[in-house]
Amino acid sequence: MRCAAVLAIAVLLVFPPLASAQTVAGKAKVVDGDSLEIGQHRIRLWGIDAPEFKQTCTRGKERWSCGYAATDALRRHLDGAIVQCVTVDKDRYGRLVAKCSSHQRSISEWMVGEGWATDYARYSKGTYARAQAKAKSAKRGIWSGTFEKPEHYRHRPH
């Protein structure tokens, strides 16, 4: 029992829980299709998974830089707007995982609805499934052809 208590304290010291939801707001620098920086805060958008910056997708026989396109779409969408993020968690890289909005709309929902990210159902529990279905049906963004799920792409050697 004593050993379990010591282990629990050690885990909390290494991985402290978020005390409460933190709000971060300001002009965001887009890192990639699902990551931002606001001031010194590195932020992962909650509930979505966008193609990695160097990831390519296919339309017919043509390969295109869908990771760059997703990043660029988010950059153009935000274009100097004030972004508000409410933290949900921290990821293994120390980034804040947050629900962010701009233009009075969820950024994650916009990215999925425009076809530049997928609903990361493992975490979102299907929050953006309807937006994804509409983007897929309309063949927007990455749905205009074929692509490898970003999480599969990340786990493959490059």
102-150, pLDDT tens digit by residue?
Answer: 999 999 999 999 999 999 999 999 999 999 999 999 999 999 999 999 9
- Whether 11 is in a domain gets the answer no
Task: Look at residue 128 in the predicted model and tell me its pLDDT.
Answer: 98
- Whether 48 is in a domain gets the answer yes
How far apart (Å, rounded) are the C-alpha atoms in residues 120 and 59? 23
How many domains in the chain? Answer: 1
Task: Look at residue 9 in the predicted model and tell me its pLDDT.
Answer: 38
- Whether 14 is in a domain gets the answer no
pTM of the predicted protein model: 0.85
65-87, pLDDT tens digit by residue?
Answer: 999 999 999 999 999 999 999 99
| CATH value at residue 56 | 2.40.50.90
Q: For residue 39, give both structure tokens.
A: 């001031």
- Whether 4 is in a domain gets the answer no
Nearest in space to 65 (alpha carbons), one of 126, 147, 137: 147
- Whether 82 is in a domain gets the answer yes
Structural domain boundaries, residue 57: 21-154
Give, for 96, the enclosing helix (H) or strand (E). strand 96-102
3-26, pLDDT tens digit by residue?
Answer: 433 333 333 333 444 446 899 999
Task: Look at residue 156 in the predicted model and tell me its pLDDT.
Answer: 85
How far apart (Å, rounded) are the C-alpha atoms in residues 137 and 124? 21
- Whether 1 is in a domain gets the answer no
Contact 142, 116 (CB under 8 A): yes
How far apart (Å, rounded) are the C-alpha atoms in residues 11 and 126? 30
- Whether 13 is in a domain gets the answer no
Q: How far is CA 41 from the centre of its chain?
A: 15
How far apart (Å, rounded) are the C-alpha atoms in residues 9 and 72? 43
- Whether 12 is in a domain gets the answer no
